[in-house]
Structure 1
Amino acid sequence: MNSQPFGPGSPKSFLAYPRGDFDLESGTFRKPRKPKNSDPGIIRMIKSLRNRIQYFYKLHPLAVFLLSLCFGLTILLVLSIYESRFRTMISQNGELGLGLNSYPLANLQNLVMVAGHSIYTSANCGKIDKEDSWFLEPYQKHPGQAATFVAHIKDGVEAVAKDERALLLFSGGETRKDAGPRSEAQSYWAVAESKGWFGWQDNVRSRALTEEHARDSFENLLFSVCRFRELTGTYPQNITVISYDFKEERFAHLHRSAIGFPESRFSFHGTPTTPDSKEAAMKGEALVRAQFEEDPYGCLGSLHKKRLKRDPFHRVIPYPHGCPELKGLFSYCGSAPYPGTLPWLS
């Protein structure tokens, strides 16, 4: 017996039977079958489909073109629908990720609106109670008229000073061409600033802003509500309007009813006009009130023409971008009350 150990020098192993399958009938060995690869089958399928499409295109080129066109239009339609929904979502919620803390005055709940009636044109802020410091219409040129504007400003400041949850808005646009591109709202804010906010600067100044697009009393109210929404993220719980006392019926009944704001949450504070202008003011107010009774939203006839006249610099009104819930109200025009849903009634 050979006791030589197996190792590198040992004889090579002998295969008694070759690798493969032995066929008993033929007495031969067959090579093992290799597993089929699935990739060539898929490739052949793709090539076959491509050839069929090419063949169909040669036979019916117009049909292939129309099918491709329909497919492309369908994709565009689907994308446009999703884009429209995306834009609507942004318009309703502001910028993506906009939270409550993103609004500069999110802690305020009540609105105090001072309606503007003139534009301050003097370069000297020390003459605020002088008529020649203001741009006055012929019907406003009476002694003491400037003092009535200052009284409105002061009353607005004092009202907000008493309510720490209130926002003061001076409302009025660039309504006079000869006064230049200056707004009534900015004029009132500048007067309050020059007077040191009548002793309430630390309390009120940070809560006093402007609405600079209104062209009449209805827009004073509606635009200020929208401006409140822009600054706080919500709509006012309570509204106080400051203007001339003879305009109470117009604001507290006609305009308030037109926007559907609850009477129990609306208040009006009026100050008297000058003695010399009282009679003419009452007659003029009766005429304007009758016009708003027929056209509550001021979108027809003489009221609409007056708005156009009071926009000499063609300012683009940004609303209702900042208050999307009021989009229907802003576009509504009719003699009947607005039939849509309002956020302060829901």
Structure 2
Amino acid sequence: MNKYSFGSSGSPKSFQAYPRAVEFDLESGTTRRARKPKNSPFHPTKMINSLRTRLQYYYKMHPLLVFIIFLSLGVTILIVLSLYESHYRMMGSYQKLDVSSGDYPFPKLRNLVMVAGHSVYTSSSCGQADKEDSWFLESYQKNPGQAATFIRHIQEGVEIAAKDDAALLLFSGGETRKDAGPRSEAQSYWSVAEFRGWFGMEENVRWRALTEEHARDSFENLLFSVCRFRELTGMYPYNITVVSYDFKEERFAHLHRSAIGFPEPRFFYIGTPASQTSKEAALKGEALVRAQFQGDPYGCQGSLYRKKLGRDPFHRSIPYPNGCPEIEGLFRYCGAAPYPGSLPWS
């Protein structure tokens, strides 16, 4: 008797008791072909027609219910798409800022000193900064001593920054005057400070004095400077000090500060007087502008918005809020009520 190991090449072939594809009937002793399962063909057209017929039936039976279901479905889809779009846009903004804290130019500075610009310097020499004809002045600014008030603001900003080693000094103001050419208010102020040797504090202040060159009104002076601070330091300011005219204190310290929700104990205002010849007119004009901001805190409607457009003669693209994605909602918001979203400093 031959012995075969399992799996060996010489093992006997398996025996097929019954032919494949047939069934053996034990009672009759006969064979018959196995039944092949019926494959029901897929007919998408029939399925669609069937679904449409059912929907038409349900709509005839319950028209209001079907309408509500479809309306709810449509609204849900829109909400989901909106959330995804917002998410990916925010992620794109964060990817643009994918830098470590060591890559920011001024990561150790934590306080903001902002000097609001009021005019563009047009003279070829900064040695005449105290002359009115060296600045591009609007009709209401053409008063003796007006140029000196600009220099006073610049000097105040430098002196405040010099007393605070953790302060970043920003001159804020865009290219607001067409006839002055593509020169910004911020760069004008920085150039005057440079010519004046930073009022004897160059070594201490110059390296941390920069510009914000897109603001078109006082609210943007504040908001854009906060965003610029974030671009340069990687964080938002702990304290904010604003330098401007004394008659604008209510506008900055209350209206604008409240609009961005910044804590009052950490907000400081340094105001200097207007020239004697322009003081009365300045107070009247300020009362009007303040009333406009009370009704439109974000300057996004009506006369304030039109004025802002007029102060952008060269159609500069504003880069914000790319540099401060955490407050993108604040930049997009427009309403009479305070911004309802969360803020990094609140």
TM-score calculated relative to the size of structure 2: 0.77
User: What is the rounded CA distance, in whole Å, between the counterparts of 2:333 and 2:85 in structure 1?
Assistant: 26
- Number of the residue aligned with 2:175: 174
User: What is the rounded CA distance, in whole Å, between the counterparts of 2:207 and 2:338 in structure 1?
Assistant: 36
Aligned AA (1:326): I
Contact 1:130 1:146 in 2 (8 A): yes
User: What is the rounded CA distance, in whole Å, between the counterparts of 1:62 and 1:155 in structure 2?
Assistant: 79
Aligned AA (1:339): P
- Number of the residue aligned with 1:304: 305
- Number of the residue aligned with 1:68: none
Summarize the Cα distance change of 1:264–1:124 in structure 2 as closer, same or farther, 3 Å threshold.
same
Q: How does 1:304-323 map to 2 (within 5 A)?
A: 304-323=305-324
Q: How does 1:237-256 map to 2 (within 5 A)?
A: 237-256=238-257
Contact 1:110 1:239 in 2 (8 A): yes
Contact 1:92 1:325 in 2 (8 A): no
User: What is the rounded CA distance, in whole Å, between the counterparts of 1:127 and 1:167 in structure 2?
Assistant: 27
Aligned AA (1:88): M
Q: Within the alignment, does 1:122 sit opposite 2:123 as a pair?
A: yes
Aligned residue for 2:278, secondary structure, equals helix
Post-superposition CA distance 1:2-35 (Å, at most 9, x none): xxxxxxxxxxxxxxx99968xxxxxxxx942589
* Count of residues in Structure 1 that have an aligned counterpart in Structure 2: 287
Aligned residue for 1:276, secondary structure, equals coil
* Distance apart, 1:299 and its partner CA: 0.7
- Number of the residue aligned with 1:334: 335
* Distance apart, 1:60 and its partner CA: 5.4
CA RMSD of aligned residues (A): 2.7
- Number of the residue aligned with 1:39: none
Summarize the Cα distance change of 1:336–1:182 in structure 2 as closer, same or farther, 3 Å threshold.
same
Q: How does 1:36-55 map to 2 (within 5 A)?
A: none
Summarize the Cα distance change of 1:274–1:324 in structure 2 as closer, same or farther, 3 Å threshold.
same
Aligned residue for 1:236, secondary structure, equals coil
Aligned AA (2:199): F
Q: Within the alignment, does 1:270 sit opposite 2:271 as a pair?
A: yes
Aligned AA (1:92): Y
Post-superposition CA distance 1:187-225 (Å, at most 9, x none): 001111111111111111110010011000001001101
Post-superposition CA distance 1:58-98 (Å, at most 9, x none): x85979xxxxxxxxxxxxxxxxx9997565334236444x2
Aligned residue for 1:264, secondary structure, equals helix
* Distance apart, 1:251 and its partner CA: 0.5
- Number of the residue aligned with 2:11: 32
Contact 1:238 1:265 in 2 (8 A): yes
Match of 1:89 among 69, 91, 101: 91
User: What is the rounded CA distance, in whole Å, between the counterparts of 1:343 and 1:152 in structure 2?
Assistant: 29
Post-superposition CA distance 1:122-181 (Å, at most 9, x none): 111211111111000011011111111011001100100000000000000000000011
- Number of the residue aligned with 1:10: none
Structure 1 residue runs of 5 or longer lacking an equivalent are 1-16, 22-29, 36-52, 64-80
Q: How does 1:57-206 map to 2 (within 5 A)?
A: 88-92=90-94, 94-96=96-98, 98-206=99-207
User: What is the rounded CA distance, in whole Å, between the counterparts of 1:204 and 1:18 in structure 2?
Assistant: 104
Aligned AA (1:155): E
Contact 2:104 2:233 in 1 (8 A): yes
Structure 2 residue runs of 5 or longer lacking an equivalent are 15-38, 47-82
Larger radius of gyration: 1
- Number of the residue aligned with 2:326: 325
Summarize the Cα distance change of 1:87–1:311 in structure 2 as closer, same or farther, 3 Å threshold.
closer
- Number of the residue aligned with 2:216: 215
User: What is the rounded CA distance, in whole Å, between the counterparts of 1:174 and 1:136 in structure 2?
Assistant: 13
Summarize the Cα distance change of 1:332–1:202 in structure 2 as closer, same or farther, 3 Å threshold.
same
